[in-house]
Structure 1
């Protein structure tokens, strides 16, 4: 009887234990700017004068707008899923992994995974790795990568390539179906910053798929790039988690991830 009594007491104590308080949001101001980041377990927001420049949760409205009912459109078999996972924050640059999939009619469903880097002080889609790192350094690092070299189609063109675009044109998708045809865009924007190594930064580049038969695949290449002197303070602050964080510390920094989904209500299902 005594062991059962003890178990009951322990159970009561466990049930009565207080719920852990939520981790408070962390905020920091980007040095040399008027932008403030607000990081919580549920969201990452960038604000200027109280106005949101960047956010994850606020994207749900736009996502749901894709599934607004239209006259004479059968949406009973539609579905959609979308997720965002923050990978790194350096200065005003936010890098995240995005995934979306579903079906909205047509011959087949859709699926995509990739990385995105945004400069929250500028319009979406304007960040380019080649604007902040020397293209010759990016090109040299890509040429040295074993995964890239495995996909050489034209050896002579590969050796002579003087731009990332020319390099991509010398590669082939291979059996794994790598999307090198759109590889220039991947090098520009589908990136995240992983860690510092001496005076270099480890950059992750996510290449997409070549055609719809391989939809949903992504291929991540890691390169080391010389860190320009002007960028070192921002990257060092991120490495110390004073302002942002690098990809290797994303878990420790409690980087948020959000998920959105849509499915037809029972009333509209066949």
Structure 2
């Protein structure tokens, strides 16, 4: 077993795959796996996901210890797999029932080819007006002499300016497109509707809640964007519940939206506690009505 690698991040998961010389797009890491869990249990749990049932291979490559009881497991999938396609967590029942989170290797964003940008810059540079050669004496011509006046609208005098403007516009568009692509690369939430039984492709509320809480802490965007991203993943009736909360409190935060769903769909009391609360609502023998109302 390899040296300890506690709680691998997405970047560490990428480096782990690179060290083993395997494509990061075909890999994922399962965290907090009990050290006695057999590889077959992990493979069976992954096969239960709809997008992995037809995968050519699912192989456990290596394990790294997190502590004395748990380890991280690097798994190879026989196809491209990303966080938008695969599971965010796994329930493993051997030797102990536990929920394990899934980490996907960080994938680099392809930037605009440098050669294309260089060519555009060369076009802008070589179309700039340059001073003609000097011949001395009365034939000496300066840059000021050859530069057209700003008020001159002749096509021959503005052609070079138009070419430079076009080249610079294309360069700016490429930079803006690259920035926009980087902003779209965020860890999306899983779809959640709250329907029973849990629809295919969705997860139980407690699993979805744990994943959402972790992602909310990782996002560095504004509170408005966080609320928008939560609404994107909700389906009726959960979306209706959150919309009612937003109508009552316009400044509701993303964490408050999550707490609203916890109160609506989370199980916070067992049957015994509910029965005790029911019995407490009954008037006791010999209890005065005023005392009963005060206790209620």
TM over 0.5: no
More helix by share: 2
RCO (CA 8 Å, sep 6+): is it higher in 1 or 2?
A: 1
Q: Which is higher, the Rg of structure 1 or of structure 2?
A: 2
More strand by share: 1
TM-score by length of 1: 0.27
TM-score by length of 2: 0.25
